């Protein structure tokens, strides 16, 4: 598996306030901003501030929900998932119009994700 880029995702219910905080107060450069997702240059990586829409879909207490995700952009998500299969690591796999992702957890239950690099690169160059 070849890692193309890494990033961090911050899931937030205060999307506009967080976006303004990272842009206006901390001065991070916006790479792209669309569909309740704002991608910032994180100096060698990226920080994605994303509206958390999963809290409405579950009965999870918002204080206990995932707020971050470590992201690995890879050429082929299906191929990258093979290492998870071989090591019996459960994961979810989804294809969306904006890209393909797989989510899984590390041994301490931190959320990790693979994302198709091609679509992210396209968004970044827009």
- State phi, psi for 44 to the nearest 5 degrees: 105, -10
110 band by pLDDT with thresholds 50, 70 and 90: confident
CA distance 65 to 54: 9
Burial bucket for residue 55 (CB in 10 Å: 0-12, 13-18, 19+): middle
Strands 30-34 and 91-96: unpaired
Structure token pair of residue 1? 């598996």
CA distance 71 to 79: 16
Global pTM exceeds 0.75: no
Where residue 9 sits, what CATH number does that domain have?
Answer: 3.10.180.10
Total domain count for the chain? 1
Tens digit of each residue's pLDDT (9 = 90 or more) over 86-98: 999 999 999 988 8
- 95 is in which domain, residue-wise? 3-124
Tens digit of each residue's pLDDT (9 = 90 or more) over 14-71: 889 999 989 999 899 999 999 899 999 998 999 999 988 665 555 666 667 778 889 9
Predicted pLDDT of residue 98:
82
């Amino acid at each position: 598996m070849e890692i193309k880029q890494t990033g961090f995702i911050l899931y937030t219910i205060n999307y506009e306030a967080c976006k303004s905080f990272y842009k206006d107060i901390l001065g991070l450069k916006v790479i792209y901003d669309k569909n309740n997702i704002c991608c910032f240059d994180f100096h060698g990586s990226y920080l994605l501030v994303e509206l958390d829409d999963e809290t409405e879909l579950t009965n999870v207490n918002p204080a206990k929900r995932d707020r971050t995700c470590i992201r690995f952009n890879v050429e082929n998500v299906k191929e990258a998932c093979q290492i998870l299969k071989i090591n019996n690591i459960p994961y979810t796999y989804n294809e969306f119009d904006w890209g393909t992702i797989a989510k899984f957890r590390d041994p301490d239950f931190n959320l990790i994700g693979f994302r198709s690099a091609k679509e992210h690169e396209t968004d970044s160059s827009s």
